[in-house]
Amino acid sequence: MKTGKVVLVGAGPGDPGLLTIKGQKAIQSAETVVFDRLVSQAILGMIPADAERIDVGKEASHHKVPQEQINRILLQKALEGKVVVRLKGGDPFMFGRGGEELELLAEHGVPFEEIPGITSAIAVPAYAGIPVTHRDFTSSLHIITGHQRAGKPLDIHFGALVKTGGTLVFLMGVSALSDICRGLIEAGMDPDMPSAVIEKGTTSAQRTITAPLSLLPQTAKEQMVKSPAIIIVGKVCTFAGQFNWFDRLPLKGRRVIVTRPKERAGRLSDGLRALGADVAELPCIETKPIIPCPEMEQAVAEIAGYEWLVFTSPAGVKTLMGYLQSIGKDVRALGQIRLAAIGTGTGRELQNHGLRADLIPETYDGEHLGKAICAQHPSGKVLILRAKMGTPALTEQLDKNGVEYNDVRCYDTEYIHYDPEQVKQLLTPGSVAAFTSASTVKGFIAAMGTDTDYSGITAA
């Protein structure tokens, strides 16, 4: 049996863009992933489809799985020979109990490593426009756990913290906010010291509440602040209004549902997140090559008899390249044929295989693709490789202009089935559903069920 190992991976504070490259590679190579509740859905979406998922999510005052049991799970899976990723919010060694999880592994000689994550203590203030250090205000930063064991007082030396004059960042301290503020004031801190609570930091739902230290607990209560949130105390909090770049993003707070296939969602999702959107990926369709496909096989064998090869999606390119690979050939089998792509996404897929589209219409749909091909006045035959349920708009244009073609349906589009109630939970007031094809619309409707009221959803 192969020797397993455990990799502790810090997932960062929430924004999937803050996951490190090394952390992403570890997740993508995992056989078992043990994860907490603060890991974003976008990062969980990176887990391989065939990997085992174990949810041990913990939240304040409620441990879904006790820490000791988590430690045993990691050991057991590693002893089974698995590559285990322990995925934790923030940084595993920053109040994340990562050290405790390694102790049992070390006792049993199980190999392990730790991949640091960006800690919320620095990233969340940054997203709220608060620099944790500033030459004119402070030269030190102090990170403190605000976690309060049930029935026990906070174990914090408030007097020492006040004497430093530095920025104070309390993690996991929402439930103890009143005790923290009172402790600092009683230790001599100015009751008017600028302070802040930042809820759900680095996510589209981030909220920043600022107030003088003495008023912060009442202000947070009025605003109904809940975990996860961090507390910042120090003069640097005065920069929150001036430097708060994240709240100014145009899609901040808007939920956008991306319906395109999982393998193609990344580019759109990343662009939306860069604009501040809360992206929920809900792949509504998946494409599968039709195997065997005698019509495509014959067309490839007779490729020299065609002038144009037309693709209406990246799936067509992938299907053809997969077939060529299966018969021991590559793009050289296509000879001098000219290539047409319905849009830039399909054009990029051609580029991935060392090919360049000779034609991409200005408007990315079947009708305009057909018109663009006809404008080239082809004298030879056109080969179209597309979905089983492809739109007739493309071939209607070719028929209208007397262009000879072979319309080969080489892959199928299937709808992905979800629990309609689960899907509806993704919809918040003002949600936007982003569609990239007619198939994604149909797949979304199938996922939502027949009794859905769509009046509150904006379709893009």
Cα 441 to the chain's mean position, in Å?
A: 21
Q: Known catalytic residue: 451?
A: no
Contact indicator for 104, 75 with CB cutoff of 8 Å: yes
> Residues 150, 196: one domain?
yes
When pLDDT is averaged across residues 54-72 and rounded to a whole number, the result is 79
C-alpha to C-alpha distance for 119 and 11, rounded to whole angstroms? 9
Out of 15, 58, 77, 318, the active site residue is 58
Supply the pLDDT for residue 41.
Answer: 85
State residue 35's pLDDT score: 95
What average pLDDT does this structure show over 143-168?
88
**Among 15, 25, 36, 412, the one annotated catalytic:** 36
Mean pLDDT, rounded, for 251-272 = 88
Residues 421 and 411 in one domain: no
| pLDDT average, residue stretch 134-160 | 87
Look up residue 51 and give its DSSP letter: S
36: annotated active-site residue:
yes
For 14-139, where are the alpha helices, taking DSSP H only?
21-28, 41-44, 67-79, 98-107, 120-127
Name the pLDDT band for 31 (thresholds 50, 70, 90).
very high
Q: Please, what sign has the CA dihedral across residues 197, 200, 202, 207?
A: negative
Amino acid 264: pLDDT:
78
pLDDT for 346 equals 95
Is the predicted pLDDT of residue 332 greater than 80, yes or no? yes
- Residue range of the domain that includes 410: 287-415
Predicted local distance difference test score (pLDDT) of residue 63 = 59
CA separation, residue 38 to residues 14, 102, 202, 414 (Å): 7, 20, 12, 32
Task: Give the pLDDT of residue 151.
Answer: 65
- pLDDT value of position 376: 96
Shared-domain flag, residues 420 and 280: yes
Here the CATH number for the domain that contains residue 343 is 3.40.50.10090
pLDDT-derived band of residue 150, with 50, 70 and 90 as boundaries?
low
Question: Do residues 9 and 27 lie in contact, with contact meaning Cβ atoms separated by under 8 Å?
Answer: yes
Strands 229-233, 194-199: pairing kind: antiparallel
pLDDT tier, 263 (very low <50, low <70, confident <90, very high otherwise): confident
Query: Which residues have a Cβ under 8 Å from the Cβ of 234 and sit 6 or more positions away?
Result: 132, 137, 138, 166, 167, 168, 193, 194, 195
The CATH number assigned to the domain holding 170 equals 3.30.950.10
Residue 30 shares a structural domain with residue 95: yes
One domain, residues 134 and 197: yes
Give the C-alpha separation, 390 to 392, whole Å.
7
The amino acid occupying position 98 is G
Averaged confidence pLDDT in the chain: 92
* Same domain assignment for residues 407 and 445: no
- CATH number of the structural domain spanning residue 83: 3.40.1010.10
Could you report the per-residue pLDDT of 381-415, keeping only the tens digit for each? 999 999 998 889 999 999 999 999 999 999 998 88
pLDDT above 80 for 360: yes
pLDDT value, residue 154: 84
Residue 261: pLDDT band with limits 50, 70, 90: confident
DSSP string, 2-41: ---EEEEEE-BSS-GGGS-HHHHHHHHT-SEEEE-TTS-H
Give the residue from 67, 100, 118 where a domain finishes.
118
> What DSSP string describes 282-330?
---EEEEE-SS-HHHHHHHHTGGGEEEEEESSHHHHHHHHHHHHHTT--
Whether residue 18 is predicted with pLDDT greater than 80 in this model: the reply is yes
Residues 308 and 409 in one domain: yes
Same domain, 292 and 408: yes
Domain total for the chain? Answer: 4
393 and 421: one domain? no
Whether 201 and 132 share a structural domain: yes
CB 129 within 8 A of CB 243: yes
Quick: pLDDT tens for 200-219: 999 999 999 999 999 999 99
Is residue 4's pLDDT more than 70? yes
pLDDT at 417 over 60: yes
pLDDT at 171: 95
Same domain for 232 and 292, yes or no, is no
Peptide bond into 378 cis (omega under 30): no
Q: Are 385 and 431 in the same domain?
A: no
Give the residue, 30 or 67, on which the prediction is more confident. Answer: 30
Query: Is residue 310 scored above 70 in pLDDT?
Result: yes
With b meaning 16 or more CB within 10 Å and e meaning fewer, what string describes 170-207? Answer: bbbbbebbebbbebbbeeebeeebbbbbbbbbbbbebb
